[in-house]
Structure 1
Amino acid sequence: MSTTQPNTEHTRWLEVIILWIAGVSAAMQFAKFSLSFNELQDYYQTSPTMTGAAISVVGVIGLIFGVTAGMLAGRIGYRKVLIGALSLGAVMSFIQASLPDFQWVLVTRVLEGFSQLGVVVAAPTMIAKLSAPQHRSVTMGLWGTFFGVAFAISGFAGKMILEQYSISGLYLAHGVLIGSMAILLTLLLNRDESRYGSAQPSDGVGYFKKLGQIYSNPRSLLPGLVFLFYTCTLVSLLTYIPHSIESPTLRTTMQVLLPLMSTAGTFIAGTLSQYVMRPQRVAQLAYVGLAIGALLLSQFLDTPSVFAIIIAQMILFAGLIPGAALSMIPKLARDSHEQANGYGLIAQLGNLGATIGPPSFATAITLFGIYGLIGLVLIICALGSIFAFFANRLKV
Structure 2
Amino acid sequence: MSRTQWYWPVVVIWLAGIGAAGQFAKISVTFDQIGLLYPEAGASLGFALSILGTAGILLGVVSGVLASRIGIRRTLIGGLALSAVVSLVQAMGVSFDAFLVSRVIEGLAHLAIVVAAPTLIARVAPEEKRAFSLTLWGTFFGVAFALFAWVGRPLVASYGVQAMFLAHAIWMAGSVVAVSLLKLPEDAPSAPGGLSLRGLLRRHWEIYRSPFLNAAAVGWLFYTFCFVSLLTLIPPFIAPEWRTFTVGAMPFMSMVTSMTLGVWLLRYLSVLQVIVCGFLASAGAAAMLLILPGAPLVCLIFAGALGLIQGASFALVPVLNETAADRADANGVFAQAGNLGNTIGTPILLGVLAVSGYGGMIVVILAALLAGAFAHLGLARARARKSVIR
Band the TM-score falls in, shorter-chain normalisation? over 0.9
Q: Does residue 251 of structure 1 match 2:239?
A: no
Structure 2: distance between partners of 1:9 and 1:252: 43
TM-score, normalised by the number of residues in structure 2:
0.93
Q: Does residue 210 of structure 1 match 2:203?
A: yes
1:126-184 CA distance string (max 9 Å, x none) = 00101111111111100000001000000011111101110111100110011100011
| Contact in 1 for aligned 2:65/2:191 (Cα 8 Å) | no
RMSD: 1.8
Q: Does residue 185 of structure 1 match 2:179?
A: yes
Residue in 1 that maps onto 2:275? 283
Unaligned runs of 5+ in 2: none
| Contact in 1 for aligned 2:138/2:310 (Cα 8 Å) | yes
Which segment drifts farther, 260-269 or 66-75?
Answer: 260-269
Which segment drifts farther, 284-293 or 263-272?
Answer: 263-272
What secondary structure, in the 3-state scheme, does the structure 2 residue paired with 1:354 have?
A: helix
- Distance 1:293-1:202 versus aligned 2 partners, 3 A rule: closer
Residue in 1 that maps onto 2:296? 308
Residue in 1 that maps onto 2:217? 224
Aligned-pair CA distance for 1:201? 4.4
| Contact in 1 for aligned 2:265/2:274 (Cα 8 Å) | yes
| Contact in 2 for aligned 1:145/1:263 (Cα 8 Å) | yes
| Contact in 2 for aligned 1:67/1:341 (Cα 8 Å) | yes
Q: Give the alignment partner of residue 32 of structure 2, picking from 32, 38, 41.
A: 38
Q: Does residue 61 of structure 1 match 2:55?
A: yes
What secondary structure, in the 3-state scheme, does the structure 2 residue paired with 1:277 have?
A: coil
Structure 1: distance between partners of 2:216 and 2:173: 31
- Distance 1:104-1:47 versus aligned 2 partners, 3 A rule: closer
| Contact in 2 for aligned 1:141/1:269 (Cα 8 Å) | no
| Contact in 2 for aligned 1:70/1:344 (Cα 8 Å) | yes
Q: Does residue 384 of structure 1 match 2:372?
A: yes
* Number of aligned positions between the proteins: 381
Aligned-pair CA distance for 1:65? 0.6
Identity %: 33
For residues 93-172 of structure 1, what are the structure 2 equivalents within 5 Å?
A: 93-172=87-166
Unaligned runs of 5+ in 1: 1-6
What secondary structure, in the 3-state scheme, does the structure 2 residue paired with 1:199 have?
A: coil
Q: Give the alignment partner of residue 234 of structure 1, picking from 227, 238, 254.
A: 227
Structure 2: distance between partners of 1:269 and 1:344: 27
| Structure 1 segments (4+ residues) deviating >4 Å | 7-11
Which segment drifts farther, 119-128 or 382-391?
Answer: 382-391
1:95-130 CA distance string (max 9 Å, x none) = 000111111111111110011000000010000101
Aligned-pair CA distance for 1:390? 2.8
Please tell me the residue identity of whatever aligns with 2:263: T
Aligned-pair CA distance for 1:270? 5.0
Residue in 2 that maps onto 1:4? none
1:291-320 CA distance string (max 9 Å, x none) = 11122223234xx7xx21111111111121
